[in-house]
Amino acid sequence: AQSVTQLGSHVSVSEGALVLLRCNYSSSVPPYLFWYVQYPNQGLQLLLKYTSAATLVKGINGFEAEFKKSETSFHLTKPSAHMSDAAEYFCAVSPSTSGTYKYIFGTGTRLKVLA
Amino acid sequence: KAGVTQTPRYLIKTRGQQVTLSCSPISGHRSVSWYQQTPGQGLQFLFEYFSETQRNKGNFPGRFSGRQFSNSRSEMNVSTLELGDSALYLCASSLAGQGPGTEAFFGQGTRLTVV
């Protein structure tokens, strides 16, 4: 069965500092991986996705993630945090079986940006 | 292009009642999925509909049901409400036929409170 683990339910960084949010997956088949962001009282917005085309994926708002098969990881990074990045971030995996759109989400990481 | 629309945004119901939530997907999207988000359990997959047929189902009791109409709009119903059903219910639509790596677009959710 596929699963996703997000290390750290809360992460605090200073404005301008590096953001690193960790995600490890478990999958017996090559997975499709996603990062979503959720602002208070909002739905989820896609930041980026990995679909095996390239291991380094660039997303919106300056975020990027690197797929490392050997480490079964898909960590999210941003070189310089901005106050507007404060939100909850979810890593998700979707099985590579065609015809299904079920996502399995991690438990989320709440990012706090300190002035 | 309009996003995923969920109605109502907020709902308060009494234990034992039933509730119906509505979701209008992005125009052209034929896959609609539903998720329950709670602080304790995180984001959990409820079910997915495609062309009016339930294609996937999560691990929820039979009190949770859904349907999809010919115009792809979807409803989910929860009968005999319990306090533990209080959650944010998120609907997501996808452009089916593009493969499982296709991203899902989420609505803002319906916040259900059971008292």
Closest CA to A63 of A42, A83, A96, A85: A85
The confidence band for B56, taking pLDDT boundaries of 50, 70 and 90, is confident
**A&B contacts, CB < 8 Å:** 72
- Peptide bond before residue B8 is cis, with ω within 30 degrees of 0: yes
Give how far A6 is from chain B: nearest CA, Å.
12
Query: What is the number of other CB atoms lying within 10 angstroms of the CB of residue B30?
Result: 16
Contact residues, chain A to chain B, C-beta under 8 Å = 32, 34, 36, 41-46, 49, 51-52, 90, 94-108
Position B98 scores a pLDDT of 62
- For residue B107, pLDDT over 60 is answered with yes
Residue from A3, A49, A101 whose CB has the most chain B CBs within 10 Å, to mutate = A101
Residues of A in contact with B103 (CB under 8 A): 34, 46, 49
Higher pLDDT, B40 or A12: A12
The confidence band for A41, taking pLDDT boundaries of 50, 70 and 90, is confident
